[in-house]
Amino acid sequence: MCRTMRTDYRSLYVAFDPHPSYKGASTHIHHVIKTLSEAFSPMLLLTLKSNLDPVETPNIEHLRFETEETNILKRTTEFTHWVKSIISLQHNLLIGHFRDCWSGLAFKEFPHVHTLFEVNGFPSIELPYRFPDIAKETLQKIERAENYCLHNASAIITPSSTTKYCIEKRSVNASKIIVIPNGAEIPSPSLRDKELPKNYMVYVGALQPWQGVDVLLKSLRYLEDVDIPLVICSSYADHQAKPYRKFAEKLGVNNRVIWLHQLPKPRLNQIMQHALFSVAPLTECSRNIEQGCSPLKILESMACGTPVIASRLPAVMEIISHNEDGVLCRPDRPADLARAIRIAMDYPENTARMGQQALTKVKDHFTWQMANQSLRNVYDTLFTFSF
């Protein structure tokens, strides 16, 4: 594969993520590579393999990494070596845009490439949620790799001021950190999904512990007299949601939850457009508080004119203004979340008003066109400084 590839790519985007996929990360990758390929073509895209077809455009070649290794740390090491071997064949590379430290380490021996580190999160903070027994020494090693990439990148972009502050605490020069909020596309109006009831609330996204789906399910116990189901549109496959299904059964609320999985974007927008409101019950944990986030599901719901009931966290407060274009409630408190849900249902006119104001805010501040132009400005600056 490497022997036959072109050696004249001007830009490279690398992510230790499957792409395309049904996760929000894949949506972000889609918009970034579009901007990068327009600015510096031809472009090479390196990601993990997914079950969906690879990207195929005239300006982008997409190579995907596969391995039978199941150990996450060994996989990341293999991925770094794979990326490094590909970079070594490129002679015209101007910009290397990477999404994680595993990708960034591959540029270590190629200082002539101007690198852009896109920081959406840190493995040293997130991995303990997936692997509670991970050794402290391993996390320290990962943090050192993250810090190397932060200090040696030509520039850093991140989607929230909360994450920027987290980066600054690692003694990184604040002047090279640029906040570019995530965006959303305004979908065309759609007809109601006939397979769903007339009134419902919706949760959209993945099912990691920090998403707070367990808190949302617990809140349903306080709403036993409310005949409005919760539609969960999971980016995970059906079998991966089994623990939450069992949890809903244990709580006695499974009959009020409709599970849908890995929906295409048009149907997801259709469901969000006709929901009374969406819910983003992010937990109060280091991943969301210290590291920060910029949840696409919040912006995409607002772009559908559907207000969001979300946890009152610093990163969320960068997007939602309480009782103006959404509702903020204390995180990790099912009773408080249930109270916010009940008020939203009891005052539908006010809820609809917030939805319209949410749509206006997205149009004014959070479109992908705005995000892409800001990113293009960063690329132009990097290219100017390269001479």
| Three-state SS sequence of 146-164 | HHHHHHHCCEEEECCHHHH
Domain ranges of the chain: 11-183+367-385, 201-365
| Segments in the chain below pLDDT 70 | 1-3, 385-387
Q: What are the CA-CA distances from residue 131 to residues 134, 145, 254, 282 (Å)?
A: 6, 19, 28, 19
* Strand-strand pairing, 155-158 and 230-234: unpaired
**Shared fold status for 11-183+367-385 and 201-365:** yes
**pLDDT value of residue 383:** 73
pLDDT tens profile 169-195: 999 999 999 999 999 999 999 999 999
What pLDDT sits at residue 5? Answer: 83
Q: Of 100, 206, 118, nearest to 159 (Cα)?
A: 118
Query: What confidence score (pLDDT) does residue 2 get?
Result: 44
Q: What is the pLDDT of residues 297-334, one digit of tens each?
A: 999 999 999 999 999 999 999 999 999 999 999 999 99
Fold assignment, 201-365? Rossmann fold (3.40.50)
Write the class of the CATH domain 11-183+367-385.
Answer: alpha beta
Q: What is the pLDDT of residue 385?
A: 53
Q: Which pLDDT belongs to residue 1? A: 44
